[in-house]
Structure 1
Amino acid sequence: MSTTFTKFHEDGSIPAASEVFVFGSNLAGRHGAGAAHTAKQLFGAIYGQGAGRMGMSYGIPTKGRRLEVLPLKLIRQHVDGFLGYARLNPELSFFVTRIGCGRAGYDDAQIAPLFSNAPSNCSFAHQWRRFITPAGREAQATRGTTP
Structure 2
Amino acid sequence: MRITRLEPGEVFVFGSNAAGAHAGGAAALAHERFGAVWGQGHGLHGQSYAINSMSGLAILRREVAGFVDFAAEHPELTFLVTEIGCGIAGYTPTEVAPFFSGVGANVVLPERFTAELDR
- In structure 2, what is the Cα distance between the partners aligned to 1:126 and 1:15? 18
- Cα distance in 2, alignment partners of residues 125 and 14 from structure 1: 14
CA positional deviation for 1:13: 2.9
Q: In terms of Rg, which structure is larger?
A: 1
CA distance in 2: counterparts of 1:84 and 1:60, whole angstroms:
13
- What displacement does 1:15 show? 4.9
Match of 2:22 among 31, 38, 42: 31
Mark the runs of 5 or more structure 2 residues left unpaired by the alignment: none
What TM-score results when the alignment is normalised by the length of structure 1?
A: 0.77
- CA, structure 1 residues 100+73, in 2 after alignment: closer, same or farther (shift >3 Å)? same
1:112-147 deviations in Å (ceiling 9; x for gaps): 111011111001111222112xxx22xxxxxxxxxx
Q: Which residue of 2 aligns with 1:17?
A: 7
**Could you tell me which of 69, 72, 80 is aligned with 2:65?**
80
Q: What percentage of aligned pairs have identical amino acids?
A: 43
* Residues 1-147 of structure 1 aligned to structure 2 (within 5 Å): 10=1, 12-18=2-8, 19-63=10-54, 70-132=55-117, 136-137=118-119
SS in structure 1 at match of 2:35:
coil
Whole-angstrom CA distance in 1 between matches of 2:45 and 2:66 = 15
Deviations 1:57-82 (A, max 9, x none): 0000011xxxxxx2211111000000
TM-score w.r.t. length of structure 2? 0.94
Higher relative contact order (Cα pairs below 8 Å, separated by 6+ residues): 1
Amino acid in structure 2 at the alignment position of 1:24: G
Question: SS where residue 13 of structure 2 aligns?
Answer: strand
Shift of 1:14: 2.9
User: What SS class does the counterpart of residue 130 from structure 1 fall into?
Assistant: helix
